[in-house]
Amino acid sequence: MVVIKNSVIRNIIRIGVPFLLMPAVVAVGVFVFDDKSYAFVSLAVALLSCVLFVAGFEKKRTGTGRMALVAVLVALTVTGRFIPYFKPVAALTVITGMYLGGEAGFLVGAMAAVISNFYFGQGPWTPFQMLAWGMIGFIAGLFCDILKRGKLPLIIYGVFSGIFFSFVMDVWTVLWYNRTFDGSMYLAAIVTALPYTVIYAVSNVFFLLILKKPIGGKLERICLKYRL
C-alpha cells in the first residue's frame, strides 16, 4: 500500500512540480493574494526548487558509499556552524561540490541548513538558506575544474558566495517585511548586513584556502580507494 502510494506521490512531485505547480504558485500569488505578493511567490519558488531537487535525487541511484560520505560532510558542516562568527559552512559546501560533484554540493548545503536550523531555529528563512547554500555547492560542482586550478579562482568564488548568500537572504528579509520589493529598504538592508557579508566572504576565503588541500585530498583518496 505505502509503496504504491509513495511512488505515485513521488511521480506527481517529479512531473507535476515543474510543469503545473510553479506557474500555479505564481498565479495564486498574483490573483489570490495581493497582486504584489512577491514574498509568497519567492518563498514558494524557493521551497519548490528544493523539493524538485530532492525529487530528482530520490529518483537517481546513488552509491551507498557516496551517501555515507555526504551524510558525514553534512554533519561536519553543521558542526562547523557552531563556530562563532567565522563559519566554514559555505567553504565545506564548496569543497564537497568540487570533489564529489554538484549534486552532493547542493545536498550538503541544503541539508546543513535544515539540520542546523534544528539548533539555530527554523523559520520561513529555512528554504532560502537551503537554496542559497545549495546553489553555492551546486555551482562549485559545475566549475570544479577551474576551482581546482589555483588559489585565485577559489578566492573569487569564496567572495562571490559570501555576497550571493547575503544577497539572497537580504532580498528575502525585505520581501517578507515589506511584501513588495523596495529599493531604498533593500539598500538599507545591504548596508546593515555589510559587516556580515564581509565576515561571510572573509571566512569563505579563509576556510577554502586552508581546508581545500587537506579535506579535498582526503575526499580524493577515499573516492579512489573505495571506487566511489
Partner 1 sequence: MEIFKVKDLNFKYALGTEKAVNNVSFTVSRGEFVTMCGATGSGKSTLLKLLKREISPVGDKSGEILFMGHPIEDMENRDSAAKIGFVMQDPEQQIVTDKVWHELAFGLENLGLDNAVIRRRVSEMASYFGIESWFEKSVRELSGGQKQLLNLASVMVMQPEVLLLDEPTAQLDPIAAADFIATVAKLNRETALTVIISEHRPENVISVSDKLMALDHGEILAFGDTRETVAKLTGNARFMEGMPAAVRLFSGLNLKGACPLDVSEGRRFIEDNFKNDIRELPKKLRERSEEKVLEFKNVNFRYGKDLPDVIRNMSFEVRKGEIFCLLGGNGSGKSTTLALAAGLKQAYAGEIRVFGKKIREYKAGSLYRGCVAMLPQDVQALFIGDSVKEELQEVKFKPDMFPFDLSPFAERHPFDLSGGEQQLLGLAKVMAAEPRLLLLDEPTKGLDAYAKKEIAGVLRKLKGLGLSIVFVTHDTEFAAAVADRCALVFRGEVTSEGETRQFFSENNFYTTAVNRMTRGFYDGILRVREAEEIIHLNGGH
Partner 2 sequence: MTEYSEYNPIVTFVYFLAVAGLAMFIMNPVLLTVSLLGSVVCFCLKRNKGEKANVLIFVGLFVVLALINPLFHHNGVTVLFLINDNPITLEALAYGVTASVMVISVLFWFRSFSALMTGDKLLYVFGRFSPKFSLMISMALRYIPLFAERSKKIKDARRAMGAYEEENLWDSVKGGVKVFISLTGQSLEKGIITADSMEARGYGSGKRTFFSRYVFKKKDGIALVLILLLTAAVMAAKMAGVLDFSFYPAAEGELFSVWAVGAYACYGVLTLLPLMSEITEREKWRYLRSKI
Asked if residue 148 binds partner 1 (CB under 8 A), the reply is: no
Place of cell 529518483: 59
**Of 35 and 145, which CB lies nearer to partner 2 in the complex structure?**
35
Asked if residue 227 binds partner 2 (CB under 8 A), the reply is: no
Asked if residue 144 binds partner 2 (CB under 8 A), the reply is: no
> Among 79, 151, 191, 194, which residue interacts with partner 2 (rule: CB under 8 A)?
79
Asked if residue 124 binds partner 1 (CB under 8 A), the reply is: no
> Among 26, 115, 171, 202, which residue interacts with partner 2 (rule: CB under 8 A)?
115
> Among 1, 85, 118, 152, which residue interacts with partner 1 (rule: CB under 8 A)?
1
Asked if residue 122 binds partner 2 (CB under 8 A), the reply is: yes
Judged by CB under 8 A, the stretch of 82-90, 111-119, 150-158, 212-220 that binds partner 1 is 212-220
Asked if residue 218 binds partner 1 (CB under 8 A), the reply is: yes
Asked if residue 217 binds partner 1 (CB under 8 A), the reply is: yes
Half-sphere CA count of 43, side-chain side, radius 13 A: 17
